[in-house]
Structure 1
Amino acid sequence: MGEQITTAGRGGAEATGRPFSPATRMLVGLAAAVVLFAGVWFARDLLAPAALAAVVVIIAYPVRFPLERRGWPVWLASTAVIVVAYLILAILAVLLVYAIGQFVRMLPDLASELSSTASGVDDWLTGLGLSIPDAQTASDWLDPAAIGSAALGVADQVLGWATAFFFVLAYVIFMTVDGARFRAAAAGASARIFGTATADGIARRYFTGVRRYYVVNATFGAIVAVLDGLLLWAVGVPIPIVWAILAFVTNFIPNIGFVIGLIPPAILALVVGGWPLMLAVIAIYCIINVVLQVLVQPKFVSDAVGLSLTLTFFSVVFWAFVIGPIGAILSVPLSLLVRALFFEHDRGAVTIRRLSGEGEGSLRAGG
């Protein structure tokens, strides 16, 4: 009897110890991912500033290496990184504040033109067969009060970002100061889990990919902003520098940034110059932005980070939903982080990594 019980116990342990089927593992993984991202969504007000600070530190961190090679003490090299990071944040903040200020200041001067344009859109839509309520609803976006309210809403949002900006500044200091120690500790911990070579390779590819991504985006964004601003100035669209700044910022939003940057100047062109000027603005953006941002830039981005176009577009929507508007700008680094943490060290995840767009060389190096 005792032997039977022992045998039964062994059989039960063996049955319990059998590995899960691939489908079961996938379901468990998806369930864990849902729980994880739900937690990120609930903590988005805390995590979004930390994510922005981490990306800025990653971009500025290479400044310390040549300084340390020249004999600078660690604290002074860290200070240099903090200064560069603060300069990046300051430039972006000044550009956004200036653009919003110029736009709000312009609205009172265009109140009459906005009202007349709204009336003209009402008449045009009514002539197409739409009922008067439908036409009025469709033209409400040209009402001066509605545009002013939207501008104030943007200003309120900026104030909220300014509050989070304080935490970003603090995070930058802490992350930079702890950078060297974190590198050594993270390398040691990950080496115990993945192996030293693999851990170092994953970290190096991730940080390098993030830097290359923002260098590519900043370069193309500057080119697009200059060309858009000059051509908008040439055709007579007011405050072209504001729309150039908007084009530069929205260039950091993959795939849909072009549309976001086009809508405001196109509406303003309709108000000040009618349909011909609006169509001219749309044509300008289609020629410049579509060629550079849609046809040329994705190739450089894909080479820099190894993400497929489909996954890049999905990342924008997903991360904007999870952590808010800043998620659209940080979507590619966040997706790269997920791939680095959960898939790059797994030799069985080659198919997933290949579908994500990772190149063959990276696949062989990582797994």
Structure 2
Amino acid sequence: MASLTGVNKSLIIFAALVVVLAGIKAASVIIIPFILAAFIAIVCNPLIKFFGRYRIPKGVSVVIVVLIIVGLGVSLGGLVGQSVNDFSQQLPEYKAQLKEEFVWLVDLASQYNILIDRDQILSMFDPGKMVDVATNMLTGLGGVMANMFLIILTVVFMLFEGPTLSKKIHMALADPDRKMEQIDRFLASINSYLAIKTLVSLGTGVIAALYLWILDVDYFVLWGVLAFMFNYIPNIGSIIAAVPAVLLALITQGPLTAGLVGAGYLIINTVMGNIVEPKFMGKGLGLSTLVVFLSLIFWGWLLGTVGMLLSVPLTMIVKIALEASDEGRWVATLLGTGQSIDEK
């Protein structure tokens, strides 16, 4: 059989990629819980290692971690679920008040000879839809978490299999002597990235919730959870997470409190994203802003709400895998921020 030319090889790879993506989308009902379980298992793996240092049996460690996950999930899920229900009931009223505030801004602009067609602007820009984006994503995530038993069960098996995963990959790739350092770097990078990102996101959500509680903003727990989840999406996520809290503060407490909420979110995300996170993670795992935006659209289309929330971690896994191979390193460079090129 004659060797494939460059063009034919590219077409075959592209066709295979389309088939794989179509299969993933068709099987998303099964794949999404599996991805969530893998994500939770990777985040919880450092806890298993921590318990292992004190010679706690593996089975006991897994049971403790699962109990922690279930306890946090049930308690936090109850609070967030109640907040989402209450907020959804008040949402039509909030939307009407937002439109009134926006109309007031249009009238204020007309006093300074800035003529704006009110009806046209309202048809193009509905501030209530910004709130809908956040609440719909929370509702969609709640639907996925309905498979909680399946996810927890998968997490348990993954935690038991975790220590042998590296050895199995080496054996599968005909590398029983563990000479392929790229595999170890790949697995270590994924564990490190997801663990650090989760801790930073957790800190961001807790600080945001406390700040909103101090300002007496309604549903501060809900907005804290939203800040935690959307912190996985750099740049764009912090804006999406801040908009509902700012708009709610605007219609319930006025422009001053809304401005304080916006300034607080700006400071929190700047400190956590530009100071705390790079200190522990380093600058070598960055993605360009364009790639972040495109990954949000792509993974959201492929995997729904879970894909949008985990779009950057999933893209980072692809980038780390590409960096571990000589053939794919050029693609990883295109996905990056270009800082290494500027330094050279």
Specify if TM > 0.5.
Answer: yes
Instruction: Give 1:281's match in structure 2, choosing from 254, 261, 264.
Output: 261
Deviations 1:116-168, CA, capped at 9 Å, x for gaps: 553343354465532547537755728xxx979995x6675355223222221
Instruction: Give 2:178's match in structure 1, choosing from 170, 174, 196.
Output: 196
SS of structure 2 residue aligned to 1:324: helix
User: In the alignment, is the contact (CA less than 8 A) between 1:114 and 1:271 conserved in 2?
Assistant: no
Question: Taking structure 1 as reference, are residues 208 and 317 closer, same or farther at Cα in structure 2, changes over 3 Å only?
Answer: farther
- TM-score normalised per structure 2: 0.76
User: In the alignment, is the contact (CA less than 8 A) between 1:225 and 1:247 conserved in 2?
Assistant: yes
User: In the alignment, is the contact (CA less than 8 A) between 1:224 and 1:288 conserved in 2?
Assistant: yes
Q: Tell me how many residue pairs correspond in the alignment.
A: 331
Name whichever structure is richer in helix by fraction.
1
Instruction: Give 1:135's match in structure 2, choosing from 110, 114, 122.
Output: 122
Report the equivalent of 1:58: 42
Q: Distance in 1 between matches of 2:214 and 2:10?
A: 56
Report the equivalent of 2:314: 334
Q: Distance in 1 between matches of 2:313 and 2:63?
A: 20
User: In the alignment, is the contact (CA less than 8 A) between 2:205 and 2:224 conserved in 1?
Assistant: yes
How far is 1:266 from its partner? 0.9
Alignment pair present for 1:84 and 2:84: no
- TM-score normalised per structure 1: 0.72
Could you tell me which runs of 5 or more consecutive residues in structure 2 were left unpaired when the two chains were aligned: 339-344
Could you tell me which runs of 5 or more consecutive residues in structure 1 were left unpaired when the two chains were aligned: 1-15, 360-367
How far is 1:257 from its partner? 1.4
Question: Taking structure 1 as reference, are residues 159 and 265 closer, same or farther at Cα in structure 2, changes over 3 Å only?
Answer: closer
Q: Distance in 1 between matches of 2:197 and 2:39?
A: 14
User: In the alignment, is the contact (CA less than 8 A) between 1:57 and 1:85 conserved in 2?
Assistant: no
How far is 1:301 from its partner? 7.6
Question: Taking structure 1 as reference, are residues 267 and 286 closer, same or farther at Cα in structure 2, changes over 3 Å only?
Answer: same
Report the equivalent of 1:118: 99
Within-5 A mapping of 1:28-47: 28-47=12-31
Higher-Rg structure is 1
Report the equivalent of 2:32: 48
User: In the alignment, is the contact (CA less than 8 A) between 1:60 and 1:85 conserved in 2?
Assistant: no
Q: Say which is worse superposed, 241-250 or 307-316, in terms of deviation.
A: 307-316
Q: Distance in 2 between matches of 1:147 and 1:24?
A: 47
Q: Distance in 2 between matches of 1:329 and 1:255?
A: 13
Report the equivalent of 2:342: none
Question: Taking structure 1 as reference, are residues 265 and 224 closer, same or farther at Cα in structure 2, changes over 3 Å only?
Answer: same
Within-5 A mapping of 1:157-176: 157-176=140-159
User: In the alignment, is the contact (CA less than 8 A) between 1:225 and 1:245 conserved in 2?
Assistant: yes
Q: Distance in 1 between matches of 2:127 and 2:329?
A: 51
User: In the alignment, is the contact (CA less than 8 A) between 1:64 and 1:77 conserved in 2?
Assistant: yes
